[in-house]
Amino acid sequence: MDPYLEAAKLWPDFHQHLVAMLYQTLLPGLADRYRARVQTRHYVHEVALFTSVTYDQHREPYIEIRSRSSGKLVTLLDVVSPGNRTNEIGRRCYLTTRSEAQHEGANLVEIDLVLSGRPAVEYDFALPADAAFVVTVTRAAQPDRPEFYPIGLDKSLPRFRLPLADDHQDTLVDLQTIFVRAFEQGSFREKVDYSVDPSAPICDESYEWLHDLLKQSGLR
């Protein structure tokens, strides 16, 4: 994962590309039994300036996988945005999407690649100290036993199992491959200014690793 993508001017575009690539990757394996759709969550965040107020429009895509025969929501695949972690309106909207899916008895897959703010998924235990990001899979049949895929900033994104209907085998999702494709498709290497520090909060140890990596890559 690239922490520079968390910048306000980059994240919405990256979010769209990542969800689109997830959708394109999953769709061939779902066509016979399921309908997959990219939906959009919309909210407005009020920002107070010195002498005025501005309104930030947020549109956040997520994926619904429904039974082709019954229309029932089988799995919700959602990507956490900085707004879901840093402002209450964004957090409430994200949690509402999750609650509605739970009410329908759906599986949940939540991909959190954000460093700023408060995690959208709260845990009853501490994640590993080097876990910058996490993928959480909550199966409808076992809501109290979520599966966690913690990710260090210096590690590749994981492969995780995406659950479908109870009588259907999980789909294996290679998140690192999908991230690389989304990054390249969106031409983000040309959009990011690696000569400055990222706006996302990074601990000292991870910052040293990132600085060394950028120097070795000729980006600093």
Residue 185: what pLDDT? 96
Residue 126: what pLDDT? 66
Q: 131-138 and 147-152: which strand pairing?
A: antiparallel
Residue 125 predicted with pLDDT over 70:
no
Q: What confidence tens digit (pLDDT) does each residue in 188-199 have?
A: 999 999 999 999
Of the two residues 68 and 128, the one the predictor is more confident about is: 68
CA gap 129, 89 in Å, rounded: 29
Residue 51: what pLDDT? 73
Residue 91: what pLDDT? 95
Q: Which residue has the tokens 């501490």?
A: 126
Residue 118 predicted with pLDDT over 70:
yes
Q: What percent of the chain has pLDDT over 70?
A: 95
Residue 49: what pLDDT? 66
Instruction: Please state the rounded mean pLDDT for residues 36-45.
Output: 94
Q: What confidence tens digit (pLDDT) does each residue in 158-182 have?
A: 999 999 999 999 999 999 999 999 9
Residue 124: what pLDDT? 66
| Side chain identity, residue 106 | A
Sign of CA dihedral 199, 201, 203, 205: negative
pTM of this structure: 0.93
Average pLDDT over the chain, rounded to an integer: 92
Residue 139 predicted with pLDDT over 70:
yes
129-134 own/partner pairs: CB under 8 Å, 24+ apart: 132/1, 132/3, 132/206, 133/1, 133/157
CA gap 161, 172 in Å, rounded: 5
Q: What confidence tens digit (pLDDT) does each residue in 63-116 have?
A: 999 999 999 999 999 999 999 999 999 999 999 999 999 999 999 999 999 999
| Side chain identity, residue 17 | H
Q: What percent of the chain has pLDDT over 90?
A: 80
Domain chopping of the chain, boundaries? 3-193
Residue 130 predicted with pLDDT over 90:
no
CB 81 within 8 A of CB 90: yes
